[in-house]
Amino acid sequence: MNKKHVILTVFGTRPEAIKMAPLIKALFASGEFTTKVCVTAQHREMLDQVLDIFDINPDYDLNIMKKGQTLAGITKLVLENIEKVLDHLKPDMVLVHGDTTTTFAASLAAFYAKIPVGHVEAGLRTFDKYFPYPEEINRKLTACIADIHFAPTSSNYNNLVNEGIDPEAIHITGNTAIDALKTTVLNDYRFKDALLRELDFSGKRVIAVTAHRRENLGEPLIDICNALKKIAKCYSDVEIVYPVHLNPAVQKPVKDILGNIPRIHLINPIQVQDMHNLMSRSYLVLTDSGGLQEEAPALGKPVLVLRNETERPEAVKAGTVKVIGTNCEKVVSETAALLDNEDDYQKMAHSVNPYGDGRASERIVAALRYRFRLTENKPEPFKQASY
């Protein structure tokens, strides 16, 4: 029997782990590859939470996280440490995900070692190099290096083709975020977090909030917090739940402004099932996260995006997501419109799935089988419903 091809998945942060977990499971389940996992641990606690839940035991852990790490620091440590892993394992392909600094640095290291790179969640663009920062450029640089591109949607595919990527090297797969979501949301779900267990989801309107992105640190995050404070003050039937990212540059302003405000609940990062079920029981989501912009529309929840632009225009087009920026008055007025006007709310509150159908991992495994000539059949692309 021929030796199996060795696939090394590399990731380092919470969202990468959540979105790579279903793919890792699918690779193991196929039995056709030798699947290995390397975590850079660009995140530590927030990564370990996900590894625990999905029962993933990394073969390599670079353990690079430092408090207040810089972009150059992360890049340097990933490059230096992963070189040894690649040299030891000699994989046939390295799979990376998305747009983090782990993604870019691991791709570069694989390129230096002349190992082919597969890019999961490829082709998302805002075309603005500083929004999101540094993710837009991380994702573009990874596309330059990658040999096979897994684009979630047809518009992501078009972005790559327009940049000169060979269409034959691109597969439209849907987003693995939706694969993960299919396994976590349950009607009778019991929250692990004590506060969420006690929250009155049927009697109150719960707003789920996350905000942590680098481009929002400083003034924009302060504006967001002040807006949340006003909303909580004006609406006695609203409860705001904000799991706060562990970055000290997020923790400090958020706790300084929003600590001890009635109806605002600041909690530690929660496990992914808690987060998905929190969104599914919430009235509305306010966020600057990329992942939440994909998940909440599938759950039929309106999303107000606390950014100036998005690399995920599909749900905006479908009408369930609105990009509102971070200006305090604007955040208050857009939120108030959805709290006060049932028609406006209902227009946004319908479930759409422009990002996937829960079969993205299956398509990626099929594309890898095609790439390694284990089959002659190219997988059928994911097709979005029209909205």
Helix, strand, coil shares of the chain, percent, nearest 5, are 45, 15, 40
Report how far residue 19's alpha carbon sits from residue 120's, in angstroms, rounded to the nearest whole number.
Answer: 9
Q: Which does 218 bind (CB under 5 to 8 A by kind): ligand UDP, ligand UD1, none?
A: none
Q: Tell me the torsion sign for CA atoms 51, 122, 90, 364.
A: positive
Looking at 16, 121, 314, 357, which residue is catalytic?
121
Binding residue (CB under 6 A) for ligand UD1 from 10, 46, 93, 366: 46
Active site residue 45: no
Query: Tokens 């499971």, residue?
Result: 25
Binding letters toward ligand UDP, positions 11-50, x by CB under 6 A:
---xx--x--------------------------------
Segment contacting ligand UDP by CB under 6 A, of 157-165, 191-199, 288-296, 358-366: 288-296
Q: Between 239 and 288, whose beta carbon lies closer to ligand UD1? A: 288
Minimal distance in Å, beta carbon 210 to ligand UDP?
5
Report how far residue 16's alpha carbon sits from residue 290's, in angstroms, rounded to the nearest whole number.
Answer: 11
Spatial neighbors of 346 by CB under 8 A, at least 6 apart, are: none
- Burial zone of 2 (CB within 10 Å; 0-12 exposed, 13-18 middle, 19+ buried): exposed
Q: Which does 18 bind (CB under 5 to 8 A by kind): ligand UD1, ligand UDP, none?
A: ligand UDP
Report how far residue 358's alpha carbon sits from residue 362's, in angstroms, rounded to the nearest whole number.
Answer: 9
Got the DSSP string for 98-113? TTSHHHHHHHHHHHHT
Report how far residue 218's alpha carbon sits from residue 212's, in angstroms, rounded to the nearest whole number.
Answer: 10
Q: Between 115 and 180, whose beta carbon lies closer to ligand UDP? A: 180
Segment contacting ligand UD1 by CB under 6 A, of 7-15, 81-89, 106-114, 122-130: 7-15
Minimal distance in Å, beta carbon 114 to ligand UD1?
25
Active site residue 276: no
Q: Between 69 and 327, whose beta carbon lies closer to ligand UD1? A: 69
Report how far residue 379's alpha carbon sits from residue 365's, in angstroms, rounded to the nearest whole number.
Answer: 9
Residues in 127-186 at the binding interface with ligand UD1, rule: CB under 6 A:
134-135
Binding letters toward ligand UD1, positions 52-71, x by CB under 6 A:
---------------xxx-x
Beta carbons of 175 and 197 less than 8 angstroms apart: no
Contact between 214 and ligand UD1 by CB under 6 A: the answer reads yes
Using alpha carbons, select from 365, 317, 314, 342 the residue that is nearest to residue 152: 314
Active site residue 214: yes
Contact between 384 and ligand UDP by CB under 6 A: the answer reads no
Minimal distance in Å, beta carbon 371 to ligand UDP?
27
Active site residue 171: no
- The pair phi, psi for residue 354, each rounded to 5°, is -70, -15
Minimal distance in Å, beta carbon 156 to ligand UD1?
17
Minimal distance in Å, beta carbon 178 to ligand UDP?
11
Report how far residue 170's alpha carbon sits from residue 146's, in angstroms, rounded to the nearest whole number.
Answer: 10
CA 345 to chain CA centroid, nearest Å: 25
DSSP character for 188?
A: T
The amino acid sitting at 346 is Q
Contact between 45 and ligand UD1 by CB under 6 A: the answer reads yes
Q: Which does 109 bind (CB under 5 to 8 A by kind): ligand UD1, ligand UDP, none?
A: none
Catalytically annotated residues? 99, 121, 135, 212, 214, 245
Q: Kindly list the residues in this chain that would bind ligand UDP in the complex (CB under 6 A).
A: 14-15, 18, 210, 243, 269-270, 272, 275-276, 289-292, 295
